[in-house]
Structure 1
Amino acid sequence: MTSYYTPPGGLPPQTQLMTGRAVFTDAYAFIPRGVFSDIVTSSLPGWTRTKLWLIARPMSGFSETFSQYVVEVAPGGGSDAPDPDEGVQHVLFVTGGLVTLTIDGQGHELDEGGYAYIPAGAKWTLLAEGATPARFHWVRKLYEPAPGIERPAAFVTNEKTLQPVAMPDTNGVWATTRFVDPADLRYDMHVNIVTFQPGGTIPFEETHVMEHGLYVLQGKAVYKLNQDWVEVEAGDFMWLRAYCPQACYAAGPGPFRYLLYKDVNRHAKLRGPGAFGAFR
């Protein structure tokens, strides 16, 4: 398995032609890897020696359930108070370096491929202790409790220890690395890794209620986003609102892999007449 793509940062030279592929529509956003320069990084209170690219955030009328960061923490940096919102749950996926993660007093070391689920209300810290920067994805979502269902517990694993599950009738060319059981109703989001072998496809236009964030970890493909076919490669990010049609062809010589967020297992939120005035 080749290494996961991580943004190199920096700035392009003044001699570079502006031939970017960035797109923002009512149905989807496409952020190509060339956009990930230092001029668009953010910093966060409580974090030291850290920069991040904030690639998804709730936006009314677009995607509304999650935020996603691509984070780089220099050696010795990190946070003892990563997020002040105790109602937020988190998924971390490490793409490089070494992370020391403590969740409710229990310490864990995560290297490339490491995955952590941190439930809402947990106390956690993160420190980059390797000789090189720690790089990881950070997905955040407000947890939605459900009657009679207990909250999930924290866990840490590594995708390299898990067997991808092949989609039916695909001969293994389309598979998903699942970090939680899809039937476990404690979870109201899934963050998985989808893998297509060369020539693999999504052979129909998926059109569904789930929002998506798709960060390409490896390879290249042609991806259908609403009415557009977009060529994508490692380091690109796609952000799909609910019901945006999608499909893909894995077009490269090697596997095409992406980190996928989706919201699951809860009722759709309804707005009563008080939000817009009484019905007449």
Structure 2
Amino acid sequence: MEGQEYSIDESGYVFAPASLGVELRNAGDASWKLLLYKQRYRPVEGHAARIVVGRLNDMPYAPYDGMENVRIKDLLPTDLGFDVNFHVLSFLPGGCHPFIETHVQEHGLYLLEGEGVYLIDERWIPVKKEDFIWFGPYVPQACYGVGRTPFTYIYTKDCNRDIKL
């Protein structure tokens, strides 16, 4: 796959495994934004991550935890070659986490659109488009969107690996 080129638009994404370098080039005249996430890869013998290229706008939403007003998109495959996944979670007006949750791993999120209120530990904090939140392990969290538009963010969580103690 070395030397392969991919053209992506504003809803596009590329996942490159640790074994490959990445070169980015803006082929147009307009400025662009890039959300870059780097993490040390934890391999599992007999499994490997691979390049994934996609467009968020081409992916269908699925109900999240059976709720029609909270929707999710999974960006990466779930096989053992991947030790991380990215998801887009979108809360329609009135949508919220169904409970306060806690995760054993660190993870983060970047707000793509809308406004909401996010519970981080014991504080409810107003958040809006382009905010970034990083959670430590075992931090209680929940959120709900406010306003008349969707509250949408992309988030990352480790997967397919036991946490390091």
TM class by shorter chain equals: over 0.9
What is aligned with 1:55?
none
In the superposition, the TM-score normalised over structure 2's length comes to 0.94
1:217 aligned residue (86, 93, 112): 112
1:167 aligned residue (43, 53, 64): 64
**Residue identity opposite 2:65 in structure 1:** P
1:41-87 deviation line (CA, Å, top 9, x unaligned): xxxxxxxxxxxxxxxxxxxxxxxxxxxxxxxxxxxxxxxxxxxxxxx
What is aligned with 1:116?
14
Question: Where does structure 1 differ by over 3 angstroms across 4 or more consecutive aligned residues?
Answer: none
Q: Are 1:131 and 2:29 an aligned pair?
A: yes
Taking CA–CA contacts closer than 8 Å with sequence separation of 6 or more, which of the two structures ends up with the larger relative contact order?
A: 2
Distance in 1 (alpha carbons) for counterparts of 2:143 and 2:21: 39
**Residue identity opposite 1:105 in structure 2:** G
Q: In the TM superposition, what is the alpha-carbon distance from 1:168 to its structure 2 partner?
A: 3.1
**Residue identity opposite 2:30 in structure 1:** T
2:155 aligned residue (252, 256, 260): 260
- From the superposition, tell whether residues 225 and 152 of structure 1 become closer, same or farther in structure 2 (CA, over 3 Å): same
What is aligned with 2:72?
176
**Residue identity opposite 1:181 in structure 2:** P
Q: Could you tell me whether the CA contact under 8 Å between 2:48 and 2:80 is conserved in 1?
A: no
- For residues 26-65 of structure 1, the aligned pairs below 5 Å read none
Q: Could you tell me whether the CA contact under 8 Å between 2:110 and 2:133 is conserved in 1?
A: yes
**Aligned-pair Cα RMSD in Å:** 1.3
**Residue identity opposite 1:266 in structure 2:** R
Unaligned residue ranges in structure 1 (runs of 5+) = 1-102, 271-280
**Residue identity opposite 2:136 in structure 1:** R
**Residue identity opposite 1:225 in structure 2:** I
Q: Could you tell me whether the CA contact under 8 Å between 1:104 and 1:124 is conserved in 2?
A: no
In the superposition, the TM-score normalised over structure 1's length comes to 0.57
1:234-275 deviation line (CA, Å, top 9, x unaligned): 1111110011111111112100001101111112224xxxxx
- For residues 2-21 of structure 1, the aligned pairs below 5 Å read none
Question: Alignment length, in residue pairs?
Answer: 165
**Residue identity opposite 2:157 in structure 1:** K
What is aligned with 1:230?
125
1:64-116 deviation line (CA, Å, top 9, x unaligned): xxxxxxxxxxxxxxxxxxxxxxxxxxxxxxxxxxxxxxx61111111111010
* Percent identity (aligned): 35
1:127-182 deviation line (CA, Å, top 9, x unaligned): 1111111211000011101133x211112110111111211331x21111111233
Distance in 2 (alpha carbons) for counterparts of 1:246 and 1:169: 19
What is aligned with 1:185?
80
